[in-house]
Copies of this chain bind each other. A is one copy, B any other.
């Protein structure tokens, strides 16, 4: 029945994993290849190292260095199949999924589809704001930023110039903090020499956060340090602030403040990329409700790991935080548990080992909260920044990418420059014939 995806039947149980993010990758690494056939589905043909997306958006890194082709990553694995497509529906009663390219049967299904931007129903924002979840989005934002300054250079209208040079970032979590820090560095070190005609004291970067602090889940030390760093770098931070409306040119906050900005970046929240087909009782606040073995409540052979899984307990009444360490650990634990199950060994319930958390604000500026039992310890400044770089290079999957990122960072550090200032927008061919075919193909594959 799975003839459509051209995957041969195997005498091993078939595990289908949806998503090649941190959870899917770690799961696939832990799953023993001799005991299972593994099929990975992703709508991109590469794994994205999301923590560094903001550096792609701000010209610090080229996209290729934070992406790893998913076929390459497992090309030594036997009985592994990758299919580049989206998943449209799960039919749990009959153990198959419907994808953009056809039907695929499974013995075990692992949903690691991650999360998508949550606009909390704000239609204006969902239509006009930039997102930061995928590489094409980061490239889109990079082009937009550079185009803004090209346009600001030639406009005679001061209001338009103002709108082109002002940035509003909604959400004071790690993405919002890191992105506004990177924009502030562009403003200080890179853009003024590129655009000598412009007065960069007119460039304002606003960071809007609904709660009373930045970096909600981090320590008070880190929250205050991040605030201080950003403030010193010229970012205007508005806490306890909420966006009321946005018409593409002007952001209105609930307190009445108006900001002219043609570029709003929405980093205020994510929700699970739920797929059609499972019962309502399996879903909890936009994520799949799972037991302590990551099995979805109400299913026998369907699991969820990473951002999309809500493992509710007294300690975590809303499930674990939607961060990569949880995803990686759940993926690994599930991979090992499937092996244990096959051998009739006792399964190991998931336990989150919190490794602490960190965020970077800019050159020599970062913050680190250490994990239990050192959770009274915090680090700021250059040592935190070096730790942040080390950890990120360590977790980058492919050695070649480690090398490229290291060189880019070293280069930027020595020269204060960010080299990837290319405006690359979709290319328009003279005829739209082949383009139309391509577009069609693309649109069936990506939501």
Contacts and interface: CB of A to CB of B under 8 A. Distances in A.
Interface of A: 3-6, 44-46, 62-65, 67, 69, 71-72, 75, 81, 83-84, 101-102, 126-128, 134-137, 139-140, 144, 146-147, 150-151, 153-156, 193-197, 248, 398, 400-401, 403-404, 407-408, 411, 415, 417, 419-431, 433-434, 438-439, 441-443, 446
B426 A194 contact: no
B64 A419 contact: yes
Nearest to A65: B62
Contact of A154 (B4, B72, B427, B430): B4
A136 B407 contact: no
Nearest to A4: B154
Contacts of A446: 427-428
B442 A154 contact: no
A43 to B, nearest CB: 10
A127 B434 CA distance: 7
Nearest to A62: B64
B136 A430 contact: no
Contacts of A135: 422, 424
A442 B428 contact: yes
Contact of A404 (B3, B407, B431, B442): B407
B146 A45 contact: yes
A446 B433 CA distance: 18
Nearest to A83: B154
Contact of A134 (B151, B154, B427): B427
Given A75-B193, A144-B438, 18 more contacts: A5-B154, A62-B63, A64-B420, A69-B419, A75-B196, A83-B150, A127-B429, A127-B431, A127-B434, A139-B427, A147-B441, A248-B433, A398-B419, A400-B411, A403-B407, A404-B408, A426-B442, A427-B446
Given A64-B62, A64-B422, A407-B403, A102 B154 contact: yes
A156 B3 contact: yes
A151 B444 CA distance: 13
Contacts of A421: 45-46, 69, 71-72
CB-CB nearest 4 A-B residue pairs:
A136-B427, A426-B426, A127-B431, A62-B64
Nearest to A410: B403
Contacts of A195: 71
A271 to B, nearest CB: 14
Contacts of A197: 6, 81
Contacts of A67: 422
Contact of A72 (B6, B63, B194): B194
Contacts of A4: 154
A266 B421 CA distance: 29
Contacts of A248: 433-434
Given A194-B75, A443-B428, A128 B423 contact: no
Contacts of A194: 69, 71-72, 75
A95 B291 CA distance: 76
Q: Which of A404, A419, A446 has the most CB of B within 10 A?
A: A419
A195 B69 CA distance: 12
B45 A423 contact: yes
